[in-house]
Amino acid sequence: MSRRALIAGNWKMYGLAAALMELDALKAALAAAPATGDVAICPPATLLAQAAWKLKGAPILLGGQDCHTAGEGAHTGDLSAAMLADAGASLVIVGHSERRRDHGETDALVRAKADAALRAGLTPIVCVGETIEQRRAGQAEATVGAQIAGSLPAEGELVVAYEPVWAIGTGLTASTDEIAAMHGFIRSTLGPRAAATRILYGGSVKPQNAGEILALDEVDGALVGGASLKAADFSAIIRALK
Ligand code: 13P
């Protein structure tokens, strides 16, 4: 089965309303050179509705960066998957390592969030990845395997993002051998949905290294942080798609 590539930008906690200008530039870049895969931007939730308005009719999907496990309720400050969908999102990132780190999110919680996303009609992008200590101890596969086993919903269409923690925002990228090996391992753990599930790589992806990473057989796209904030860089990564 051939999987359609996905290049998703995660703006993290960056971006006031002025950043929406980058979406105009991205729209123009994609109009000039259409992407050969899906393109998504996950802005801060405060910008979702305005971004959706701006991107009406454009080939750019929108995603949230997190959601609550419940459909609604007394949870001050949280957002449900249905709210993200209502604001224009079709995807949502869950279990990003920054949330696992900053908010103590466990695999079980991440799975419950992914299930909530599916119930609201959103495609979850479930993030996994080992720390440098785990890799040095020879535990990279065991760590990621446990995260996959614990964080993925039993069924439903989802995307997996492999983001080695040590490569996020550090300028360090995993080598193509390390990426190919881990993506192959992740696919081997996915069972019946292995062929249909997109596995993205994330961690210091930039225009300079996107070509060699996206050319790897088991890599179905990228989850891009810093380099997604500027349309020029992000569109260069999109153009690197095989
Ligand atoms: P950077 O591309 O800034 O390393 O971030 C990767 C990431 O965490 C995307 O979710």
| Ligand 1 touching residue 43 (CB < 6 A) | no
Contact 19, 43 (CB under 8 A): yes
**Relative orientation angle of helices 107-119 and 140-151, to the nearest 10 degrees:** 40
- pTM for the whole structure: 0.98
* pLDDT digit string, tens, across residues 108-122: 999 999 999 999 999
The pLDDT, as a whole number, for residue 242 is 67
Q: What is the pLDDT of residues 124-178, one digit of tens each?
A: 999 999 999 999 999 999 999 999 999 999 999 999 999 999 999 898 889 999 9
The residue nearest atom 9 of ligand 1, judged by CA position, is 225
**Which is it for the CA torsion 140, 146, 150, 156, positive or negative?**
positive
Residue 47's pLDDT is 98
Q: Which residue has the higher pLDDT, 171 or 100?
A: 100
Centre of ligand 1 from the C-alpha of residue 206, in Å: 10
Contact 41, 11 (CB under 8 A): yes
Pick the CATH number of 6-221 from 3.30.70.60, 3.20.20.70, 3.90.1150.200, 1.10.1040.10: 3.20.20.70
User: What are the tens digits of pLDDT across the range 24-57?
Assistant: 999 999 999 999 999 999 999 999 999 999 999 9
Closest atom, ligand 1, to C-alpha of 12: 10
Question: Is the pLDDT reported for residue 1 higher than 60?
Answer: no
Which residue type sits at 181? Answer: A
* Ligand 1: residue whose CA is nearest its atom 2: 225
Q: Decide: 203 in ligand 1 pocket, CB within 6 A.
A: yes
Region 186-197 average pLDDT: 96
Q: Is the Cβ–Cβ distance between 63 and 38 less than 8 Å?
A: no
Are 47 and 13 within 8 A, CB to CB? Answer: no
pLDDT digits (tens, 9 = 90+) for 193-223: 999 999 999 999 999 999 999 999 999 999 9
Ligand 1 atom with minimal separation from the 96 CA: 10
Q: CA–CA separation, 66 vs 44, rounded Å?
A: 10
Per the CB < 8 A criterion, the answer to whether 207 and 237 are in contact is yes
- Domain-wise residue ranges, the chain: 6-221
pLDDT at 172: 86
The yes-or-no verdict on residue 88 having pLDDT over 60 is yes
pLDDT the model gives residue 198: 98
